[in-house]
Amino acid sequence: MTAPLRLHYAPDNASLCVRLALTELALPYETVLVDRAAQGQKSAAFLRLNPNGLIPVLETPHGPMFETAAIILWLAEQKGNLMPPPNTPKRQNALQWMIWLANTLHPTLRMIFYPDQYTGCDGTALRPSAAGRLIAHLDVLAASQTAPWLDHDAPSAPGCYLGPMLRWAALYGGGNTWFDLQRWPRLHAFAQRTEQRAATIAVARAEGLGPTPFSAPSPCDPPEGSAL
């Protein structure tokens, strides 16, 4: 890469998934704080990078990229570790889970966090049904025989995406009144292994996520910016 990568981020936002991938791959990058409290992601300057007005954006030598899954997959191509080799069954399975995380799990979380954006009015009635969908989704993932990345110590592209989403479900989706990660021992063990990795510890420190950011998360206390 001839130019440094620049990650436009806010603490404990979807940029966290990308930051984990960057750190796991030991790729040099700069961070650019997006002021969410001032709706910085809706500013004219940010919209030139991502017309959707959503975090994250990664500036690359080829131009800005948006969409969390796309960025992580692109980063995996730069060094080749985070994803299994092409033309293998493991690659096929990892790809399908990456798209599932982006198309199924992440949108369901957003319905819980921002129900009004999906209904055009007070969307509180949507939240319980979306929470039920989330539980069903995690039941499927925890029982899958095609997700060996859940059980391995090595980092993976799907793992970089999943870890933060387990955190957000516990913190921002209603808390332990309905969500308890220990309901899924396999996912809980994945979270514990992931947060012990050096890359996760470094990222958690940088964003103020605490010592158990995925298995038993606490609200973030970032050194700069705001998560909400």
**How many of the other CB atoms lie within 10 Å of CB of 175?**
11
Q: CATH code at 176?
A: 1.20.1050.10
> 93 in a domain, yes or no?
yes
> 35 in a domain, yes or no?
no
> 11 in a domain, yes or no?
no
> 13 in a domain, yes or no?
no
What per-residue confidence (pLDDT) applies to 225? 85
**pLDDT tens figures, 24-65:** 999 999 999 999 999 999 999 999 999 999 999 999 999 999
The tally of domains found in the chain comes to 1
pLDDT > 90? residue 89 = yes
Residue 48 burial (CB < 10 Å; 0-12/13-18/19+)?
exposed
> 25 in a domain, yes or no?
no
For β-strands 29-33 and 5-9, DSSP reports them as parallel
> 113 in a domain, yes or no?
yes
As a whole-number percent, the residues of the chain with pLDDT over 90 amount to: 82
**pLDDT tens figures, 153-204:** 999 999 999 999 999 999 986 555 678 999 999 999 999 999 999 999 999 9
Instruction: Tell me the pLDDT of the chain averaged across its residues.
Output: 93
Domain span holding position 161? 89-197
Q: What is the pTM of this model?
A: 0.94
179-214: buried (b, 16+ CB within 10 Å) or exposed (e) per residue? bebeebeebbebbebbbebebbeebbebbbbbeebb
What per-residue confidence (pLDDT) applies to 3? 62
* Residue scoring higher pLDDT (184 or 122): 184
